Amino acid sequence: MAIKRGRGVAAINYPTGMNLGGDPTQALVHSTPTGNFMVTLSSVDLGQGMKQIMAQICAETIGVPTDRVVVDTADTDTGPHCMGTFASRGTHRAGNAVIQAAREARQVMLEVAAEELEVNASDLETDGQGNILVKGAPQRSISIFDVALSAHFKRGRSISGRGMFLIPRSYPEKETGAMKPSTCYAHACTVAEVEVDDETGEITVLTVKNVFEIGRALNPKMVEQQLVGGSWMGISHALYETTEPYYPDRDHGGTDFNQYLMPGPGDLAQTEIIVLERPSADGPYGAKGPGEMCANPQIPAIANAVFDAVGVRIDTLPITPERILRALKAQASN
């Protein structure tokens, strides 16, 4: 009996949004009288950073600092329509809708500024710090604060915009069945190294090294946090989590979170994350959706590592010591 080491590799691609398309998201953007901007969405922030990313996208598009943007996710009764926060679609779908709305609001803002400066709107640009400048003559400028005041109280203009992003649904060709299920795919590859005790069946995950291709990291630190957390979640799915350990029999299944098995800090492997940026043609500033994908490749990589270590293929999750010992016993009896 011995502790045996194995290494496994797995690679995946993952569609952004609902397959077949047809999942719209709307956004509204408007300026306050003091030149701050409000983004209204029904896309919900589940803790993944949706509000921060939408604020960044709006600020980049309009040309203001991010702290001048507030994101209100409202609710589905009062906010603009959204299919929901799922399918790794939040940044891609809502982000594109915000860009459309912000562009429309920006155009109104520039038109009001042009009236104040007595130039054409096409001759203006923003400096990203809250000012609008005449191209080639930056000494001629006006603050967005003053433009908003003028729009509200002098010009009678609403600095606002509407956006909606919808990928047309793809239908199979009758003759060939060919179709386009998604316009945007993220990719990942994981290498996992494990030790397996062939006497007890216990698995120790030593290292998990992940490479994620996510289009463009709009907020690199938040992306890193999500990818590391997703990697840990993948380990948890692979080795620990289940409500029905003897499915379809419910015996010995956890009944609450006190009995639901998950890894603790001491059970998590050394984790490495590498981000590759290959901007998506239809993503907001090139972004794709990394949300669900980041917890996927670790599962087959660990399963492959277990096979490499002890020569048994476990195809039921989680990969428990009991299942490994049963597989080893069956292998020995053949």
Beta bridge partners of 274: 211
Task: Give the chain's domains with CATH numbers.
Answer: 3-16+183-333 (3.30.365.10), 23-167 (3.30.365.10)
Per-residue pLDDT at 19: 65
Residue 20 above 70 pLDDT?
no
Residue 21 above 70 pLDDT?
no
Per-residue pLDDT at 252: 82
Tell me whether the omega of the peptide bond preceding residue 248 falls within 30 degrees of 0, making it cis. Answer: yes
Residue 219 above 90 pLDDT?
yes
CA angle 244, 245, 249 (to 5 degrees): 60
- In this prediction, residue 198 has a pLDDT band, given cuts at 50, 70 and 90, of very high
- The pTM of this model reads 0.91
Residue 183 above 70 pLDDT?
yes
Left if phi > 0, otherwise alpha if psi is -120 to 50, otherwise beta: which for 88? left
Residue % of the chain over a pLDDT of 90: 73
CA angle 278, 284, 286 (to 5 degrees): 10
**What is the b/e burial string over 228-264, where b = at least 16 CB atoms within 10 angstroms of the residue's CB?**
bebbbbbbbbbbbbbeebeeeeeeeeeeeeeeeeebe
Residue 50 above 80 pLDDT?
yes
At 280-323, the pLDDT tens digits run 999 999 999 888 899 999 999 999 999 999 999 999 999 999 99
Beta bridge partners of 13: 187
Tokens of 234: 């993948």
Residue 44's CB is within 10 A of a number of other CB atoms, namely 19
Please report, in angstroms and rounded to a whole number, the separation of the first and last CA atoms in the chain. 19
Chain mean pLDDT for the chain: 92
Residue 95 above 70 pLDDT?
yes
From residue 40, how far is each of 9, 90, 332 by CA, in Å?
Answer: 42, 14, 62
Residues in the chain: 334
Helix (H, G, I), strand (E, B) or coil at 8: strand
Closest alpha carbon to 203 in 5, 43, 61: 5
Average pLDDT value for residue range 244-251: 81
Per-residue pLDDT at 48: 84
Per-residue pLDDT at 192: 98
Per-residue pLDDT at 44: 86
Residue % of the chain over a pLDDT of 70: 99
